[in-house]
Amino acid sequence: AAAAGAVGAVIYNNTDGPVNGTLGGPENARIPTGGVTAAAGAQLAALGGQNVTLELRTIQEARTSYNVIAETKTGRKDNVVMLGSHLDSVTDGPGINDNGTGSAALLETALQLGSTPKANNAVRFGFWSAEEFGLVGSTYYVDQLSFEQQLDIALYLNFDMIGSPNAGYFAYDGDNSDGVGAGAGPYGSAQIEKTFVDFMQAAKGVALEGSDFTGRSDYGEFIAVGIPAGGLFTGAEVLKTPAQAAKWGGTAGVAYDPCYHQPCDNLGNVDRVALERNSDGVAWALGVYATSTESING
Ligand code: PHE
Ligand code: ZN
Ligand code: ZN
Ligand code: ZN
């Protein structure tokens, strides 16, 4: 709403959020012009020099998109090991680290596994659609399952950004003890976290840290319905600390992924060593849980 004595305007654009200021003043620079309609442009011109409150609204377009689900023919169908990654990117960029890396690792793991491995538990892959629009694909998938079908999923492993160029090495904090928000919030599985921590230490010499289950990726709905979850992550917009740079290499004071959600998230935006290590972690965890999930659910 406009402040007293001011004039209100609604600008339809592709960016959300209110902008307050005087047109023609410094705040004007914050108003994106691409996509502003002619009518809104005329409205803006008429308001020149006055104090206004502008409301930017997103123009949304309905589209249908698809998850891709694949499952082994072998293994128990009532004790499924599920792994997932999102296929989509933000509209601003190509999304190679976010999330070409997780999807590439998962696809290669699926190809190496083949359709009929000697597995005790069935392995199911979920390549999610529309994660960036609010976890749409994975949420839809979990919610359209019957309660029985949800119970048939023993655990869910998520891989969203596993080759960040200034990589951190994180497992989702299932024991809820070592992430930034230790002791609070939703959590997944301590046993799954330990599986990743132990493998990365023993096989790669890398000491993982916990990353909070913030609800920012596709594990969200799995946890919400009580399915144990975990996964690997190399970090997004948060800055690497000096202690982490000393431990893992890379640059302190710089984001794990400086190109997060930007046009520069291209093929150059991948730490291939991190991607290699984490891809092996994907395959390892799959092998562990396809053999047995007893460590998780007895
Ligand atoms: N889900 C986020 C994205 O796709 C990335 C992310 C994952 C951020 C996990 C924080 C924690 O942009
Ligand atoms: Zn993203
Ligand atoms: Zn992502
Ligand atoms: Zn932890």
Number of the ligand closest to the Cα of 216: 1
**What domains are there in the chain, each with its CATH number?**
7-58 (no CATH), 68-292 (3.40.630.10)
Active site residues: 131
The pLDDT score that the predictor gives to residue 296 is 86
Report the pLDDT value the prediction gives residue 178, as an integer from 0 to 100. 76
| pLDDT (0 to 100) of residue 57 | 61
CA–CA separation, 233 and 178 (whole Å):
15
The alpha carbon of 28 and the centre of ligand 1 are apart by a number of angstroms equal to 31
Q: What is the ipTM of this complex?
A: 0.94
* Cβ of residue 160 lying under 6 Å from some atom of ligand 1: yes
159's CB contacts (< 8 A; 6+ apart) are 83, 84, 85, 99, 101, 102, 103, 105, 106, 231, 232, 278, 282
- What b/e string do you get for 91-106 counting C-beta neighbours within 10 Å, with b at 16 or more? eebbbbbbbbbbbbbb
**Cα-to-centroid distance, 283 and ligand 4 (Å):** 21
pLDDT of residue 61: 77
* Any atom of ligand 1 within 6 Å of the Cβ of 98: yes
What phi and psi values does residue 239 have, to the nearest 5 degrees?
A: -80, 140
Q: Token pair of 271, please?
A: 């730490």
Q: Would you say the CB of residue 234 lies under 6 angstroms from ligand 1?
A: no
CB atoms within 10 A of CB 68: 13
**Partners of 156 in the β-ladder:** 82, 229
In sequence order, which residues have a C-beta less than 8 Å from that of residue 240 and are 6 or more positions away?
166, 168, 248, 250, 251, 252, 253, 254, 255, 256
* pLDDT (0 to 100) of residue 176: 80
The predicted pLDDT at position 189 comes to 85
- Token look-up 């190109």 returns 259
Query: Which pLDDT value is given to residue 55?
Result: 63
Low pLDDT (below 70) residues in the chain: 1-41, 44-45, 48-60, 179-187, 297-298
The CA-atom distances, in angstroms, between 73 and each of 44, 123, 222 are 61, 9, 23
Q: What is the pTM of this model?
A: 0.82
Distance 261 CA to ligand 1 centre (A): 10
Q: Among all ligands shown, which has an atom nearest to the Cα of 213?
A: 1
CA 224 to chain centre: 16
CA neighbours within 13 Å on the CB side: how many for 271? Answer: 25
